[in-house]
Amino acid sequence: MKNDKTAVLLMNVGSPNEPKIGSVWRYLTEFLNDKRVIDLPFLLRKFLVNCIIIPFRVRNSTKLYQMLWTEKGSPLIFYSFEMKEKLQAKLGDNYEVFVAMRYQNPDFRKVIGNIKQRGFKKLVLFPLYPQHAMSTTETTVFAIEKELKQQKATIDLKVVGQFYDNPQFIKAFAEQGRKYDLSKFDYVVFSYHGLPNRHLEKAHPNIDPETCSCEVSVPSYGKQCYRASCYATTRLLAKELGLEAGQYSVAFQSRLDKNWMEPFTDKVLIEKLKEGKKRILVFAPAFVTDCLETIIEIGDEYREIFLEQGGMDLQLVESLNAEDSWIEAMDGLIKHVAF
């Protein structure tokens, strides 16, 4: 049976099935054993991840997931499904939208099996990451290509690559920010998920990342440089919001150890507070759905520390989730690469 429709597969990182220690352990095991996430030699990765990182991390991560969990489950998952429903209505009958996660559920292997069995011959893969990274976009594309081969599926694949500079994406994020009165804030921080410095060095073959110009422009050799894309996203958002130099800066959150991209968001927030910026608005434009890293890390943990140290307000800008303007942007991005 041949299916003339185009399948669209939305993919994100994934969450544990439940906020319980066993589920979080399984999630972290699948996530951190990915060689594009912890890119160390096999035996060293196995030892570090399974014997050190997970046993030391799993209790605290479970506690954070318990704080995050809602009646509808994990925000990352339920927002992805809300997004899917609205996108389906927008794209119409020539497309069918699916959701899968790189780690845990919905399992991308089962979703690919379903797409194959239903006779689709065209697939648009949409990794939901505005900025390209080996640990996100690259691992997602790799996993899907491998799975299609494994299942001997003769399906043409197109991929929506990084989209940080898509004007509708920028407008949609700026619109989320404009829900707050910008004049009530002393400063704006654009906080991105960090990466180990080693990953940045890999994005700069034969170039010294220390002297790379990616804070001010995207160099020709740095199109896939996550750092360059984060700074470029910030320039575009700042322009759209009418922010001037000195009113905002870039920072990186969620580090696993000290050898991650700097400046660190928690440190920047306190530095700015010491400079007298007592009301700070935080955008997190590496995330298209709210998740542990936005709701808990910024909205809870960083906010609590900021207020404890004398800050008056730390406000997280909600992510795009299933906002109409984002669905419009997705529609455009899909049709741009579609067959």
Site for ligand L6N33NVT, residues 145 to 204, rule: CB under 6 A: 193, 195-196, 199
Choose the one of Fe ion, ligand L6N33NVT, none that binds residue 57, judging by a C-beta under 5 to 8 angstroms depending on kind: ligand L6N33NVT
Give yes or no for residue 74 binding ligand L6N33NVT (CB under 6 A): yes
Q: Compose the 1-30 pattern: x for residues touching ligand L6N33NVT by CB under 6 A, - for all others.
A: ------------x-x------------x--
Give yes or no for residue 126 binding ligand L6N33NVT (CB under 6 A): no
Exposure class string for 13-23: b at 16+ Cβ within 10 A, else e? bbbbbbbeeeb
Choose the one of ligand L6N33NVT, Fe ion, none that binds residue 286, judging by a C-beta under 5 to 8 angstroms depending on kind: ligand L6N33NVT
Site for ligand L6N33NVT, residues 243 to 272, rule: CB under 6 A: 256
Give yes or no for residue 222 binding Fe ion (CB under 5 A): yes
Handedness of CA 227, 228, 229, 230 (dihedral sign): positive
| Locus of tokens 């404009």 | 178
Q: Can you give the three-state secondary structure of 4-43, one letter per residue?
A: EEEEEEEEECCCCCCCCHHHHHHHHHHHHCCCCCCCCCHH
Nearer to ligand L6N33NVT, 222 or 311 (CB): 222
Residue type, 256: L
Q: Which of 189, 194, 215 is nearest to 272 (CA)?
A: 189
Q: How many Å apart are CA 40 and CA 51, to the nearest integer?
A: 15
In the sheet where 313-316 sits, what is the strand order?
A: 248-253, 187-193, 279-283, 313-316
Q: How far is CA 140 from the centre of its chain?
A: 12
Give yes or no for residue 100 binding ligand L6N33NVT (CB under 6 A): no
Question: Can you give the binding site for ligand L6N33NVT, defined by CB under 6 A?
Answer: 13, 15, 28, 37, 57, 61, 74, 76, 129, 133, 135-136, 193, 195-196, 199, 256, 286-287, 291-293
Question: Can you give the binding site for Fe ion, defined by CB under 5 A?
Answer: 212, 214, 222, 225, 228
